[in-house]
Amino acid sequence: MTRKELIVSALENGTVLDHIPAENVYRALDILGLKDINSQITIGINLNSKLYGKKGIIKIADKFFKDEELNKLALIAPKGTVNIIRDFQVVEKKKLEMPSEIEGIAKCMNPKCITNHQPVRTKFTVIEDNGEISLLCRYCEKKSDIRGIF
Amino acid sequence: MSKSLISIQDFSKEEILHVLETAKEFEQNRSQKILEGKVIACIFFEPSTRTRLSFETAVNRLGAKVIGFSDATNTSVSKGETLKDTIKMVSNYVDMIIMRHPLEGSSRYASEVASVPVVNAGDGANQHPSQTLLDLYSIMQTQGCLENLRINMVGDLKYGRTTHSLLQAMSHFNTEFVFTAPEELKMPVEYKDFLKKKGLTYTETTSLEEHLNDCDILYMTRVQQERFTDPMEYEKVKDVYRLDASMLDNVKENMKILHPLPRVGEIDQNVDDSPHAYYFKQAENGLYVRMAIIAYLLGYR
């Protein structure tokens, strides 16, 4: 048994988010709203990864997410993976999929956009162009570079 | 949900042509009381003359009544009321809301909150679709059709929302574009990419003379001081183009000069009497087009 499998299976029941860029771990916690829950959460940052250099990992005990909730993470972790653990076993392993639309996360970078002045929930269409991801605001119709708005 | 007009892209080619045909009918008979008994709100959170007066005239000529304000300072907005609450309240009173607001995206948001159709009369630097439709109407009326024309857009092509929306709308009609602008105010890449994706051609130049004599429409714009953060940048480009009557000797016979107005120095007053000048008639056309928009959205045309 490799050491990696040990880390993953150390959870009895829950969700393991793997291959998150190390610098985006805190944003991932934010996006999933994990800052205010009572479940046990284990966070690893700057773990060595053969494939990606430095990576981050988040393990949440006794919590399972809907796919559309997890897929929001694809914006900051396009190569992220999800492991569902039940009774110490990985029962499901899947890749994050880029959502076509996102709501309520990310701010519009246009300072004159209504969403930055009134209590309006942001809505964006996700645009992928040659591997570059940008968000098109439903309201002001401006494109925001993904790196600028998180 | 009721149909609103927020962005010119909300209308299909068929809907655009339908509204323009309806506008023709209103131009021939400009008082048709088809909306008797209706009440329409014109709420302007930002100053405007042409747009507000022509919308209010359009409502009156259709037989409906207007309520509203042209300055938000003496309303609850100054007490900190949110746009959502203002729109919710107003939409309980009226059959349609026509609004202008300085923040971008405010009209789209209002259309999600309102129970009645919303017409965007300008949301900051974003969209102003009734202007685009009256530009299309003016092009159609002067050229006989909208297909296969060459349009020369001049001036501030970087910040000018009218040129961006007109470009999107004209892309339905196999238009050939010329972009005349100084280096600092060139047409943004995203709009040029949009044309490329649609298989349309465009030419760029910095010289007003270069394509003056081979275009069907000369669409002049003002360099808007309020869009510049650096006053030196503005000084450099503000008087870059000046159209003068003496420059019109060899233009095409059918060529018309359009301008969304207000103008400052870019068209000399000596052009006003030329048969090519069309900008005042263009502003008048706004009335018929706005009557057509209102009648269409309320299901009367």
Compute the average pLDDT of residues B263-289: 96
Are A24 and A83 in the same domain?
yes
Are A76 and A113 in the same domain?
no
Q: Give pLDDT tens digits along chain A (150 positions).
A: 455 555 545 789 999 999 999 989 999 998 898 888 888 999 999 988 887 788 999 999 999 999 988 998 998 898 899 999 999 999 999 999 999 999 988 899 999 999 999 999 999 999 988 778 889 999 999 988 877 666
Structural domain includes residue A32: yes
Tell me the nearest-neighbour CA distance from B110 into chain A, angstroms: 10
Are A68 and A123 in the same domain?
no
Among A50, A65, A95, where does a domain finish?
A: A95
Instruction: Say what the pLDDT of residue B1 is.
Output: 66
Contacts of B203 (CB under 8 A, 6+ apart): B177, B178, B179, B211
User: CB contact, 8 Å: B171 with chain A?
Assistant: no
Instruction: Say what the pLDDT of residue A150 is.
Output: 62
Taking CA–CA distances from A121, the nearest residue in chain B reads B109
Q: CA of B73: how far to CAs of B44, B93, B206, in Å?
A: 11, 21, 43
Lowest mean pLDDT among A66-70, A114-118, B137-141, B212-216: A66-70
Of A110, A139, A141, the CB nearest to B109: A139
Question: Residue A110 belongs to a domain with what CATH number?
Answer: 2.30.30.20
Residue numbers in B near A114 (CB within 8 A): 83, 101, 103-106, 108-109, 123
Are A62 and A128 in the same domain?
no
Number of separate domains in chain A: 2
Structural domain includes residue A36: yes
Radius of gyration from C-alpha coordinates of chain A: 17
Structural domain includes residue A9: no
Compute the average pLDDT of residues B120-128: 94
Are A62 and A135 in the same domain?
no
The domain in which residue A57 lies consists of: 14-95
Which tens digit of pLDDT belongs to each residue from B251-274? 999 999 999 999 999 999 999 999
Interface test with A, best of B77, B84, B101, B106 (most A CBs within 10 A): B106
Are A77 and A126 in the same domain?
no
Tell me the nearest-neighbour CA distance from A91 into chain B, angstroms: 42
Are A24 and A60 in the same domain?
yes
Structural domain includes residue A58: yes
When the pLDDT of each residue in chain B is averaged and rounded to a whole number, the result is: 95
Are A31 and A73 in the same domain?
yes
pLDDT at B158 over 80: yes
Question: Residue A21 belongs to a domain with what CATH number?
Answer: 3.30.70.140
Are A90 and A105 in the same domain?
no
Lowest mean pLDDT among B26-35, B75-84, B222-231: B222-231
Residue in this structure with the two tokens 């349609």, named with its chain if needed: B96
Are A115 and A42 in the same domain?
no
Instruction: Say what the pLDDT of residue A148 is.
Output: 65
Structural domain includes residue A137: yes
Alpha helix ranges (H) inside chain B:
13-28, 50-61, 83-93, 106-113, 129-143, 161-170, 189-197, 231-237, 279-297
Interface test with A, best of B88, B109, B226 (most A CBs within 10 A): B109
Instruction: Say what the pLDDT of residue A1 is.
Output: 47
